[in-house]
Amino acid sequence: MTGSGSTGETARVSDQPDLLAANLGADRNPYAAYHESRRAHAVHATEHLGAHVTMVYAYGEADEVLKDEGRFSARINGRWMRPLLGRTILEMDGAEHHKHRRLIGHAFRPRVVQRWDAELIVPTAHDLIDRFAARGEAELVREFTWQLPVRVFAKVLGVPEIDLGRWQGWAVDLERAALDWKRGVAAAKEVEAYFAPVLERRRASPEEDLLSDLVTAELEGERLPDEVIFGFIRLLIPAGAATTYRLLGSTLLALLTDRELLAAVREAPSRIPAAIEESLRWEAPVQFAARESNEDTELGGVAIAAGTPVLVALGAANRDEERYEAPDAYDPGREGPPPHIAFGDGVHRCLGEHLARLEAASALGVLLDRLDGLRLEDEGDPHMFGYAFRSPNRVPVRFKAA
């Protein structure tokens, strides 16, 4: 297929409000309210977006929900996602989830991910920087942090350069489907129509790529059905690329607002992984995880009836003062920080977490190495924002022109 609509789609992708709309809200700092809610009740039955739900704000109870598959099911994720993405592992439980996770996980084995780093992630980071290095200025959300993971996944899936504009358009439409459902559904159908013949070709003649791994992966004589493969391809945007771009942008803004910290990381790149990890805790890219109670149960002293939606506030749990000292501070040098749950926990812990970390760390390393004198500009009032998702509105920078 050719990219006949590429020009218009690429122009729309670069429109900042459209790109950031999926954050669903312009809240700069939800954490003060989270602290108040947690002090009042770690677990709270309430009305949320017109539905009766149980909100979980404290780390201990949040982790309990995510780890206890017997009491709390992931099937609720299928109610909204399946009409858009198709059937995905995010809604599966038990043996079915275990089987499909192992089959999909085969495509993300360490040897393959490391090859992506050398052959795709680092070269893509350099290519993007080449486009603005001579200017001495850039807006990194629009020109770098969002572009990088979307382009990497396009290459991983074998999308040719001529069709990149179409892929970017689908990425935005799937990401913001809650705001424009019709456009999101249309994008989902186009993605399946585009990749259906590609899957057939890979079955007939496998190559060294992700799609070939997905169609040939086998466990106990079973392979992934096409509907799950298509669902996974569509899921790569909201669960893969979008998470990484938010993580990278938040880390950049945090470092750029603290010159001493930025200098320390630049002088010792070995500190980059800690900066990424603290960013995940401090500004979880995805703020909520949904589950549904399988039975009448109790959590944090609150009774929960069977079938009740349970909404884990990941951002609140990751700033629980009972677990973290000075939780609102961005501090990559924390002594022995406890694990965070930005990627969830338990059997549904994010399958692509290692790739997200690697992408963010490699891209940050290339950026700091390439751009001398990198500093944040106050143009556009750069700040973190969002309710369902968190990321910077802008990261405008200046640097020594190459």
The yes-or-no verdict on residue 338 having pLDDT over 80 is no
The yes-or-no verdict on residue 11 having pLDDT over 80 is no
| Domain count along the chain | 1
Interatomic CA distance for residues 201 and 224, integer angstroms:
16
pLDDT band at 3 (very low <50, low <70, confident <90, very high): very low
Whether the pTM exceeds 0.95: the reply is no
What is the model's pLDDT at position 329? Answer: 96
Q: Does 104 map to a domain? A: no
Q: Does 115 map to a domain? A: no
The yes-or-no verdict on residue 10 having pLDDT over 80 is no
**Rounded mean pLDDT of the chain?**
90
The alpha carbon torsion through 122, 125, 126, 132 (nearest 10 deg) reads -170
Summarised one tens digit per residue, pLDDT across range 102-153 is 988 888 888 889 999 999 999 999 999 999 999 999 999 999 999 999 999 9
Q: Do residues 64 and 338 touch, judged by C-beta distance below 8 A?
A: no
What is the model's pLDDT at position 4? Answer: 34
The yes-or-no verdict on residue 309 having pLDDT over 90 is yes
What is the model's pLDDT at position 15? Answer: 58
Q: Does 32 map to a domain? A: yes
For residue 364, give the nearest of 260, 268, 258 by alpha carbon: 268
Q: Does 98 map to a domain? A: no
Enclosing domain of residue 152: 6-89+121-197+228-398
Q: Does 348 map to a domain? A: yes
The residues pairing with 309 across neighbouring beta strands, listed in sequence order, are 292
pLDDT band at 320 (very low <50, low <70, confident <90, very high): very high
Q: At 285, which helix (H) or strand (E)? A: none
What is the model's pLDDT at position 337? Answer: 66
Q: Does 110 map to a domain? A: no
Q: Does 355 map to a domain? A: yes
- Which residue type does 242 have? A
The alpha carbon torsion through 342, 346, 351, 355 (nearest 10 deg) reads 50
**Domain CATH number, residue 251:** 1.10.630.10
